[in-house]
Structure 1
Amino acid sequence: MLSALILLPLFGAALIGFLPIAMNGKISRGITLVFSAIAFLWTIVLAIQFNPGQVTQQFAEFIPWVDVLGLNYNLGIDGLSMPLLLLNGLLTCIAIYSSDESLHRPRFYYSLLLLLNAGVTGAFLAQDLLLFFLFYELELIPLYLLIAIWGGQRRGYAATKFLIYTALSGILILASFLGLVWLSHAPSFALASLNSKALPLGTQILLLAGILVGFGIKIPLVPFHTWLPDAHVEASTPISVLLAGVLLKLGTYGLLRFGMNLLPEAWSYLAPWLAIWAVVSVLYGASCAIAQKDMKKMVAYSSIGHMGYVLLAAAAATPLSVLGTVMQMVSHGLISALLFLLVGIVYKKAGSRDLDVLKGLLNPERGMPVIGSLMVLGVMASAGIPGMVGFISEFIIFRGSFPVFPVQTLLSMIGTGLTAVYFLHLLNRAFFGRLSVQVMNLPRVYWSDRLPSVVLAILIVILGIQPAWLIHWTEPTITAMVNAQNVVAISPDKIKGN
């Protein structure tokens, strides 16, 4: 049942890439959308059959693969991965639908999108360290090519920078995985067979450091963030949707699954420093976003700040805060995808993302009133206004983290206020006031262009009003995971005393 989620996009990529018939952009997009929609619908079927009360892996598949390496084809779903699989399926469909029919080399483009979907899906399903690493690396090349071929003017530089950073991330993760398995004398790379508690604390900290930096690059956290703004600015809108909405979540997912879950003692020891790291990322990302004049770059820097909330909650390691990490991953995926879609429409119709050029786009007669209204909703959600999914996710994080790290939590809450500052600046400059002369004659925005944004906006409001629909999948798994590992953050005073 789970292999179908990986094989469907792989088969679709092979069909589009190698079928010996003429295929234009419209046909290629249609076939790709069919395969991605079937995979997404199959994920929904699995979600309906998913039992939230069962905290162990469900729909598990196990096939021996390379016995001499201890590598097995081992898949499963739990409450941590289920929401992310749904998010991946939804945003992949939206990215394909939003792609330009007239782009060059469409068959190659859509094949890469399906390969990217298969790699991310496999990473969320993998219950084997080495298998996860293979899928984690599988998404690297498609995304590099999608930026390098269909990106902006500086696409070569941005794609190469992304490739170098992500390759370094993979090296550190693989080294930590190998060290964890070999030093603990585990019989295989299966998650269930690993027991790091027998390792000395110093060894655990060294292994965890590699995992933290490796996944910190992917999230990205300061100072490993510099590849992200360049990648977003040069990537096309659909690729930015996937990059911010799904691919960054591989980093936060990896921290929870392979950092906190496998090395709880080292995680507890480093937790105070992780909380400080989170505060730095939150405030730095928000401060950089305030200084931007490019709308897309502003949204990119906002992602750095919002991913810092996830690290703060994971460092606190309470059942409530870790539940907030999953909520934040889903809410950020929906909100960032909405914002990038809207910025892409503005750029396509107005020809600019510069806040010094754009003005008055909310004009009801000659502007983009619907796009402007959706942008207001997206900004409100990102700033944590009640009634939106962004509010409930951040509230759960702050509520769960405050008892453990009160000062760091209060400092991170400043980031929420700064989010309102820079996004209100964006709205004021680009959407309010008199329509600027440079963008006086705007092309019409059709409902086919607005449809993906409307779908995301509806989900943001629904999950904000009824977050229990998302929480019920995750809460039992998260609570069991935290309690089983007995992850308790050590206060800085105790560390100094030791």
Structure 2
Amino acid sequence: MHNVALVVLILIPLLGSIAVFSLPAGQNQAAKVTALGVSLLTVVYTGALAIAYDTSATAPRFQFQGSWNWIKSLGVHFAFGVDGIAFVLVGMSVILVPCVVLASWNSFDSAEGSEEADEKPRSVKTFFGLLLLLEFFMVGVFVVTDVFLFYVFFEAMLVPMYFIIGFFGGPRRQYAAMKFFLYSLVGGLLMLASVIGLYITSGQSTFAFTDLIGTIPDNATQKWLFLGFFIAFAIKAPLVPFHTWLPDAGSEAPAGGAAILVGVLDKVGTFGFLRYCLPLFPAASKWFAPTVLVLSVVGILYAAFVAIGQRDMKRLVSYTSIAHFGYIGIGIFAFTTQGGTGAVFYMVNHGLSTGVLFIVIGMLITRGKSRQIADYAGTAKITPRLGGAFLLAGLSAIALPGMSTFISEFLVLVGTFTRHKTIAVLATLGIVLAAIYILYLYQRTMQGPVIDKVKKFKDLNKRELCAVAPLLALIIFLGVYPKPVLDVINPAVQATLHDVGVTDPLPASVHGGVK
């Protein structure tokens, strides 16, 4: 198989990154234009693949497959292919990157453009080069179908994000970057041990994902291998209690970096649950499912309560993301088509929603030079466009009907309720708590008497509007008409559940409950 479609997709941002890094020092405008052009080209190319993607019932599970030998003696290949789960996450990722490029356009030109009051100008070329390099690894981790190659991309993502946080973040950026790196590195080492164990115990002499499904019949072995993958993915997601790195990394990263970190990188964890943990270790997945469900619902409630008490805007949004990942967790481990489809759609919607929320908060912080909620009031009266974008982003975060997040949250809760009623009811309480912390954030910063500092603020300009408008438009469009995305996701979720050996619960009438 030598289909190069996905190879071209990942090479576009890689070559763009090399081009940006190769620019002479001081060519800031050229670096920005190159990054924007490359990221938009990636979007266009992904759109062309979307048109060619086959959603019919007879379509193969993985499409655009290509495979080339890498380490022949070990059965390692440069193997690529996408199912519906991976493809929608690729689409979300590439759409978010040009929005981040536009939002970060002037962020590192001067101290005035920085988010923090004590910031100094940083290398513009370095930031945008790292951003494109990160896009290369993000897309790559979703499209590879060789387990060893997945591990390589999984670990390599740490490097550009580490430097984005450590070079361009807030006052505690070095601490946050190191904490992020160490947590992820430990998880990666555990996964490497399981990758090696999977290769040895499968007896297949290959790392091809599809060839490894169903090769570990021993339940005890499955459980140990499952744990290595699961802990790595739970740290990346992050799932409580592996979450403590995210509030620091999310609050100290620059707004654009935080949007990518929480919007895309964290989805690699939940993607890993679906792609690797469930199909490769079905018996272990079912055995550990009750524990994961409990951890997920605890994360929803715990993170929501902690978010209510936050005074730092970026830290608050980071905690809200931990709560949202709890919903994704229960959707995945409910083992229903509705729950799984809702979980994947939740990943997409959370990336769009949290991405735009971080971007808008970054624009506010750039104007006010503070992340503290108490340092703002009445902003919407002076900057109505900024206030409107903030409101729409906030409403998407609380899954208001009409927003795409509502569809995904509804599917997750319905799919969970059919198997685990108590878990679904407890998770529903998180919706009420979400309304409290988001509306609190909006009311304190955007409403009330206008303070003196806010009177000097400028409203969103055309570039900033172009950064947030596509994300908000997608959130509203998919809230009204989610069918195109759900049609892509459904077959892949059904194939995953088939690998696990589970089917949807029968309606109550079949059991004699309703006649």
Q: Is this a same-fold pair by TM over 0.5?
A: yes
Given the alignment of the two structures, is residue 87 of structure 1 paired with residue 92 of structure 2, yes or no? yes
Amino acid at match of 2:41: I
1:95-114 deviations in whole A, cap 9, x for unaligned?
12222341532222222111
- Report what 2:123 is aligned to: 105
The 1:159–1:461 alpha-carbon spacing in structure 2 relative to 1, beyond 3 Å, is same
Q: How does 1:392-471 map to 2 (within 5 A)?
A: 392-471=407-486
Q: For residues 75 and 346 of structure 1, do their structure 2 counterparts lie closer, same or farther at Cα, with a shift above 3 Å needed?
A: same
The match for 2:9 among 5, 9, 20 is 5
AA aligned opposite 1:221 = L
1:295 aligned residue: 313
| CA deviation profile, 1:323-357 (whole Å, cap 9, x unmatched) | 01111000100100111011011111122232222
Partner secondary structure for residue 362 of structure 1: helix
Aligned with residue 201 of structure 2, among 168, 179, 183: 183
Q: TM-score, normalised by structure 1?
A: 0.95
Is the CA contact (8 Å cut-off) linking 2:386 and 2:459 kept in structure 1? no
**2:310 is equivalent to residue 281 of structure 1:** no
Is residue 62 of structure 2 the alignment partner of residue 28 of structure 1? no
The match for 1:496 is none
Q: How many residues align?
A: 486
**1:37 maps onto 2:40 in alignment:** yes
Compute the displacement of 1:296 (Å). Answer: 1.1
Given residue 166 of structure 1, which amino acid in structure 2 is its aligned partner? S
CA distance in 2, matches of 1:444, 1:47: 36
Give the whole-Å Cα distance in 2 for the aligned partners of 1:104 and 1:267.
Answer: 45
> 1:253 maps to which residue?
271
Contact 1:296-1:353 within 8 A present in 2 as well: yes
Which whole-Å CA distance do the structure 1 matches of 2:86 and 2:374 have between them? 42
C-alpha separation between the residues in 1 aligned to 2:125 and 2:501?
A: 49
Contact 1:268 1:489 (8 Å CA) reproduced: no
Q: Deviations over 1:406-431 (max 9, x none)?
A: 10111111111100011111112111
Matched, 1:123 2:148: no
- After TM superposition, give the deviation of residue 440 of structure 1 in Å: 2.8
* Residue in 2 that maps onto 1:75: 80
Between 90-99 and 214-223, report the one with greater CA deviation. Answer: 90-99
Gaps of 5+ in 2: 110-120, 506-515
Match of 1:292, SS state, is coil
Quick check: 1:327 aligned with 2:342?
no
What is the CA–CA distance in structure 1 between the aligned matches of 2:478 and 2:104, rounded to whole Å? 26
After superposition, what is the alpha-carbon deviation per residue over 1:249-292, rounded to whole angstroms, capped at 9, x for unaligned? 11110110000121111111111111101111111111110010
Q: Give the secondary structure class of the aligned counterpart of 1:386.
A: coil
Whether the 8 Å contact between 2:74 and 2:205 is mirrored in structure 1 is: no
Secondary structure, aligned partner of 2:80: strand
Q: How many Å apart are 1:444 and its aligned residue?
A: 4.1
Are the aligned partners of 2:100 and 2:359 in contact in 1 as well (CA < 8 Å)? Answer: no
The Cα shift of 1:481 comes to 2.3
Give 1:445 deviation, angstroms. Answer: 3.0
Q: Is residue 56 of structure 1 aligned with residue 61 of structure 2?
A: yes
Letter in 2 for 1:114: L
Partner of residue 112, structure 2 = none
What residue number does 1:306 align with?
324
Cα distance in 2 for partners of 1:392, 1:334 equals 14
Tell whether 2:239 aligns with 1:229: no
Distance 2:263 2:408 in 1: 15
Letter in 2 for 1:84: L
Q: CA deviation at 1:167?
A: 0.5
Cα distance change of structure 1 residues 67 and 197 upon mapping to structure 2, 3 Å threshold:
closer
Measure how far apart 1:197 and its partner are: 5.2
2:418 is paired with a residue of what secondary structure?
coil
Post-superposition CA distance 1:12-37 (Å, at most 9, x none): 12222135x45521110101111121
Maintained 8 Å contact 1:267/1:489: no
Match of 1:238 among 242, 256, 270: 256
CA contact (8 A) 2:263 2:355 kept: yes
CA distance in 2: counterparts of 1:446 and 1:13, whole angstroms: 27
Amino acid at match of 2:427: S
Greater CA drift, 443-452 or 342-351 = 443-452
- Name the SS of the counterpart of 2:375 in structure 1: coil
Contact 1:362 1:431 (C-alpha < 8 Å) held by counterparts: yes
Match of 1:46 among 37, 44, 49: 49
Cα distance change on mapping 1:489 and 1:45 into 2, 3 Å: closer
* Cα deviation, residue 483, structure 1: 2.4
**1:476 equivalent among 491, 499, 502:** 491
After superposition, what is the alpha-carbon deviation per residue over 1:232-253, rounded to whole angstroms, capped at 9, x for unaligned? 1111111011111111111110
Secondary structure at the residue paired with 1:60? strand
**CA-based RMSD:** 1.5
Task: Give the TM-score taking structure 2 as reference length.
Answer: 0.92
Unaligned runs of 5+ in 1: 491-498
Contact 2:279 2:499 (C-alpha < 8 Å) held by counterparts: no
Which range moved further: 433-442 or 299-308? 433-442
Q: Secondary structure at the match of 2:373?
A: coil
Cα pair 1:315 1:489 within 8 Å, conserved: no
Q: Retained in 2: the 8 A contact 1:283–1:414?
A: yes
Aligned-residue offset at 1:162: 0.6
In structure 1, the residue matched to 2:232 is: 214
In structure 2, give the amino acid aligned to 1:130.
F
- Alpha-carbon distance in structure 2 between the residues aligned to 1:294 and 1:439: 17
Match of 2:280, SS state, is coil
Q: 1:86 to 1:139 in 2, by over 3 A?
A: same
What do the CA deviations read for 1:449-485 (whole angstroms, capped 9, x no partner)? 1221122111110000001121011112211221243
Is residue 290–residue 298 contact of structure 1 (8 Å, CA) maintained in 2? yes
Deviation at 1:195, TM superposition (A): 3.8
Equivalent residues of 1:368, 1:445 under 8 A apart: yes
Q: CA deviation at 1:198?
A: 4.2
Q: Distance in 2 between matches of 1:310 and 1:319?
A: 13
Q: Tell me how far apart the structure 2 counterparts of residues 315 and 164 of structure 1 sit (CA, whole Å).
A: 27
